[in-house]
Structure 1
């Protein structure tokens, strides 16, 4: 399906002096390649042992020692807040933020903050982290925000906020579709708010990638699904290829040259099409307001007081 590579690792420009945030999974490949181009990179992860191991591996492979670990648990708004504050205390710029962590089709659970976990991890955690870092991202401009969505958003018919926490309202996959739709809607509204700045915010479908994202399937559907997942992996992209589209959004000069804002990309750095709900600007505003209200209820009304100057 994706046989043309509009963007490859060699197209990444030199990133000396740039500070970057990424996550594990395809984020590991992303961070590794950014480090290879001399960026100062942070890899965020819930698992300290795995995160620090990834840091050491990247240092070894790239010969770049400016690679650091940051503890970040997207299932906890307090953890997200603490991670942002830890980074901000360093008084560093931030030129590229790649939000690509996530969970897929997990059995129904709620986060410690009491929100359905796929919505909480895939959207709310990234929303809070991004907004808390936004003043620094603006000051560091030209800069990029990259939100990883999925082709799966195309199956979402919208977001019923009253049913988010109803365990019987949706299947595990339907909850995933909504969360990926939320990634696009967040990007749409954020890009509008950043239209007069030199911060470029875009979203993407990375492709169907062979990662551990599919580990939840057995918990959700039973052991019968294992053979299907195994067969499916033969048709999936490698993590190296899966990272290309977000690397394009994060680094390609074309983003600024063509003034790409609030766009949706598919492999490998091509413009893609979203479904009708993803184009709903009113739904994007409703999602933003819902997200702000929920976070304020959990962390206090002043949580965003310094973020929108």
Structure 2
């Protein structure tokens, strides 16, 4: 399949590589897991619900002929679940080549708290992935390159507050707006990408490439069925939305293309399809990225968990 100068046929052979894809039972995660498996990777579908994930595991195996596809339980809205997943993976003693932080909660109409009492979109879309990534750093190989892929959204430009991330009201039910909270969580994905890359390089982890992307308007069930999408909005969304396979192309590119290394793309942001771009000014704010990092660590530690590996 060919879009905008890049095709899935250009994805390199991934035999021997291990990839974790969060939220891989549907939408972009499912499409990404399928393509990674098609190219030979050992793919782990990190999903919340086993009954939804296992049929997708079997579908991917059948479609690709790759038997190295499996499910591991992960609820990103729960710090305890992230801790449990990371511990189980690290105990296996296998190296991780690709971590695709894809899962997201999309605009709950009413203010909702996670089990850890954090606004649900922030908990799932950012805090869970933040902790997951840091906890899995020991699994990344030291003798070859690897990738961390953070799936953001153009919503970081369209809906986030002017400041990018409201450090004072991120957990305030009285100021909650589902669109703004979602956009803010997508700003957080980009800020995390940039700050993580900087800290990795400062700590000598020069073989890990961290990048973020906007997959574009994609015809996923979550987007089409969201209660905030009126019939009029759904109609126009369907006019511009692309198939899930096309939507997954940019994140597959960032996860696998040799371009990332040859062009030294680190801490960058890509728009569809595979186009190096520039995020909003707040999402490029280095000082805000540091403050968000500090807040994220604080929220995790206040809830009784301290990752074994946290870049200081």
Q: TM tier, shorter chain? A: over 0.9
Rounded Cα–Cα distance in structure 1 between residues aligned with 2:307 and 2:50: 27
Choose 19-28 or 238-247, whichever is displaced more.
19-28
- 1:121-200 equivalent positions in 2, closer than 5 A: 121-139=124-142, 141-155=144-158, 156=160, 157=162, 158-195=164-201, 196=204, 197-200=206-209
- Residue 256 of structure 1 and its aligned partner are, at CA, apart by 0.3
Contact between 1:111 and 1:117, CA under 8 Å: does it hold in 2? yes
Rounded Cα–Cα distance in structure 2 between residues aligned with 1:216 and 1:109: 18
2:294 aligned with 1:292: no
> Cα–Cα, structure 1 residues 62 and 5, in superposed 2: closer, same or farther, change >3 Å?
same
SS at 1:229 equivalent: helix
* Number of the residue aligned with 2:88: 86
TM-score (norm 1): 0.93
- Residue 89 of structure 1 and its aligned partner are, at CA, apart by 1.3
Rounded Cα–Cα distance in structure 1 between residues aligned with 2:221 and 2:42: 26
Rounded Cα–Cα distance in structure 2 between residues aligned with 1:139 and 1:112: 35
Rounded Cα–Cα distance in structure 1 between residues aligned with 2:277 and 2:106: 22
- Residue 307 of structure 1 and its aligned partner are, at CA, apart by 4.3
2:24 aligned with 1:15: no
Contact between 1:104 and 1:216, CA under 8 Å: does it hold in 2? no
* Number of the residue aligned with 2:38: 36
Rounded Cα–Cα distance in structure 1 between residues aligned with 2:3 and 2:13: 24
- Residue 235 of structure 1 and its aligned partner are, at CA, apart by 1.9
* Number of the residue aligned with 1:117: 120
* Number of the residue aligned with 2:210: 201
Q: For the aligned residues, what is the CA RMSD? A: 1.7
Alignment gaps of 5+ in structure 2: none
* Number of the residue aligned with 1:235: 240
Rounded Cα–Cα distance in structure 1 between residues aligned with 2:279 and 2:220: 24
TM-score (norm 2): 0.92
Rounded Cα–Cα distance in structure 1 between residues aligned with 2:222 and 2:80: 24
- Residue 263 of structure 1 and its aligned partner are, at CA, apart by 0.4
- Residue 215 of structure 1 and its aligned partner are, at CA, apart by 5.7
Contact between 2:134 and 2:309, CA under 8 Å: does it hold in 1? no
2:68 aligned with 1:66: yes
SS at 1:34 equivalent: helix
Contact between 1:206 and 1:243, CA under 8 Å: does it hold in 2? yes
Contact between 1:105 and 1:216, CA under 8 Å: does it hold in 2? no
Contact between 1:194 and 1:200, CA under 8 Å: does it hold in 2? no
* Number of the residue aligned with 1:274: 279
Rounded Cα–Cα distance in structure 1 between residues aligned with 2:54 and 2:87: 20
- Residue 140 of structure 1 and its aligned partner are, at CA, apart by 6.2
* Number of the residue aligned with 1:248: 253
Choose 125-134 or 164-173, whichever is displaced more.
164-173
Alignment gaps of 5+ in structure 1: none
